[in-house]
């Protein structure tokens, strides 16, 4: 919309929609766990405000920030500054910042960006409506809420921001691992599981809204239940979730390899609704670097767990992430990762360069690696994985998959098989030669006819899987 077409309102917070409600727009940054927070915030606000996808139409703009690594912090600051400009040009009169960045740098952020009117930490979202009311009625700014509670977990009604057929469910908050590169325990607090019945009720509510795939997330999903039930209880949670008729797929992310246990592996293998896919954040494979990272595992243990998964669940798809350029990482350490990928040929791999984060043990280590070396290692590792991915994708030609349909561009439909998590693992593009109507959010059977580096091309078939 051109500026000349805008109706500039001098005091827009006093000018409500015809329904007598203010409009709220949100920008959510960072990980899937942050996304869940954003959806809970919107759910809490939905009765009193109108949610809009266009910040130009919003009387109130909320930015849910990420503060995990330097690039995420900078994106959060840039986004807040961008939204602050909407106070000058469009309807916005109230700018709110929440999330990990405000939790970590609340005082500094308030001084740096005085345009922020309300700022909340990661566990203060229940105070939001009263603070907005106070601002509207009294012009009262509130920047002091930046402390987390180790006993609190954000729960409640959600407004989904994902595609209608898929939703994330956070099963725990916080982390007890204290890896030397990670600030999350200081931001989010100690590990604390949600009650099983609360998770089941949330999944039932999501299923009633048309969700067919639920993705379980936490900082460490394999530790679910240890704090409130005295044992690892993820396998029992999977079993209960699978009883919800409308749910077709249950996907697991963030399963630390050292905490994978027999009952969980058996449940993945035997439960038809649990997709044969697991995300295990390895981060490195050199014992030298794993020790520096304070990871609670070894190269040998990781390799044994991967072999075990592939033996007991032969069709399992394994995804992981690596950090390159960690302090004191030698060329030999790095080459251990490339050798590992070439030998084990993991299905899905993400690579990140190490970010030196203040208040972490790794930031104070000697032997920090130059950014140029980090980038070279990242590119080399991604090239190694690109070749692995292309090799694996070639083997899929001629195979049949049930595909969750997510979109149509006028020529090709696109969707995902059980082998693909949303946004990170690629897509399957396919044509419908029968010209029958295909609904977004439905499942169709597709035969793969062509491979790309990370995506696949197929065609709809009416045959059964072979």
Secondary element (H or E) of residue 460: strand 456-460
Query: Alpha-carbon distance 211 to 463, whole Å?
Result: 26
For β-strands 94-99 and 60-65, DSSP reports them as: parallel
Q: Is 175 annotated as a binding residue?
A: yes
Cα–Cα dist 266/311, whole Å:
11
* CA–CA–CA angle 346, 352, 355 (5° rounding): 150
Which residues fall within 8 angstroms of residue 347, CB to CB, at 6 or more apart?
Answer: 317, 318, 319, 389, 392, 419
Element (H, E) at 62: strand 60-65
Task: Give the span between the Cα atoms of 438 and 431, in whole angstroms.
Answer: 10
Residues 6 or more apart in contact with residue 207 via CB below 8 angstroms: 244, 245, 246, 247
Is residue 102 within 8 Å of 121, Cβ to Cβ? yes
Please count the CA atoms within 13 angstroms of the CA of 161 that sit on its side-chain side: 21
In eight-state DSSP terms, residue 112 is: H
With beta carbons less than 8 A apart as the criterion, state whether 75 and 29 touch.
Answer: yes
Asked if residue 182 belongs to a known ligand binding site, the reply is: yes
Decide: 322 and 329 in contact? Cβ < 8 Å: no
Q: Residue 387, annotated ligand binder?
A: no
| Residue 66 annotated in ligand binding | yes
DSSP per-residue string spanning 424-449: TS--EEEE-TT-----TT-EEEEEEE
Beta bridge partners of 118: 96, 142
Which residues define the annotated binding site for [4Fe-4S] cluster? Answer: 31, 66, 100, 175, 179, 182
Which residues define the annotated binding site? Answer: 31, 66, 100, 175, 179, 182
């Amino acid at each position: 919309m051109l500026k000349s077409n805008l109706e500039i309102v001098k005091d827009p917070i006093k000018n409500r929609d015809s329904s007598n409600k203010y409009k709220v727009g949100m920008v959510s940054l960072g990980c899937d766990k942050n996304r869940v927070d954003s959806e809970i915030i919107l759910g809490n606000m939905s009765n009193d405000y109108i949610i809009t996808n266009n910040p130009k139409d919003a009387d109130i703009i909320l930015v849910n920030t990420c503060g995990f690594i330097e690039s995420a912090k900078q994106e959060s600051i840039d986004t807040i500054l961008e939204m602050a400009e909407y106070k000058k040009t469009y309807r916005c009169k109230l700018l709110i910042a929440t999330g990990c960045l405000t939790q970590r740098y609340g005082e500094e952020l308030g001084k740096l960006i005085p345009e922020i009117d309300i700022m909340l930490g990661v566990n203060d979202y229940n105070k939001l409506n009263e603070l907005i009311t106070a601002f509207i009625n009294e012009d009262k700014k509130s920047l002091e809420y930046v402390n987390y509670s180790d006993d609190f977990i954000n729960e409640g009604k959600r407004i989904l921001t994902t595609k209608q057929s898929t939703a994330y469910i956070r099963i725990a908050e916080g982390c007890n691992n204290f890896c030397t590169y990670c600030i999350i325990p200081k931001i989010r607090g100690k590990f604390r599981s949600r009650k099983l019945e609360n998770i089941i009720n949330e999944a039932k509510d999501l299923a009633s809204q048309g969700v067919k795939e639920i993705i379980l997330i936490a900082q460490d999903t394999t530790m679910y239940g240890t704090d409130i039930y005295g044992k690892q209880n993820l396998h029992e949670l999977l079993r209960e979730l699978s009883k919800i008729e409308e749910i077709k797929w249950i996907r697991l992310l963030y399963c630390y390899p050292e905490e994978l246990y027999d009952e969980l592996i058996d449940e993945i293998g035997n439960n038809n609704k649990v997709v044969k896919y697991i995300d295990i954040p390895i981060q490195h494979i050199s014992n030298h670097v794993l020790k520096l990272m304070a990871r609670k595992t070894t190269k040998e243990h990781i390799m044994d767990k991967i072999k075990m998964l592939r033996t007991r669940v032969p069709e399992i798809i394994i995804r992981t992430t690596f950090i390159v350029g960690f302090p004191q990482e030698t060329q030999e350490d790095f080459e251990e990762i490339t050798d590992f990928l070439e030998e084990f040929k993991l299905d899905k791999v993400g690579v990140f360069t190490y970010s030196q984060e203040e208040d972490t043990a790794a930031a104070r280590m000697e032997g920090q690696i130059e950014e140029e070396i980090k980038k070279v290692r990242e590119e080399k590792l991604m090239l190694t994985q690109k070749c692995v991915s292309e090799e694996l994708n070639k083997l899929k030609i001629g195979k049949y998959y049930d595909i969750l349909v997510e979109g149509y561009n006028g020529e090709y439909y696109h969707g995902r098989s059980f082998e693909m998590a949303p946004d990170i693992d690629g897509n399957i593009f396919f044509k419908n030669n029968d010209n029958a109507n295909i609904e977004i959010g439905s499942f169709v059977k597709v035969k793969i006819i062509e491979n790309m580096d990370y995506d696949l091309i197929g065609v709809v078939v009416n045959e059964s899987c072979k």
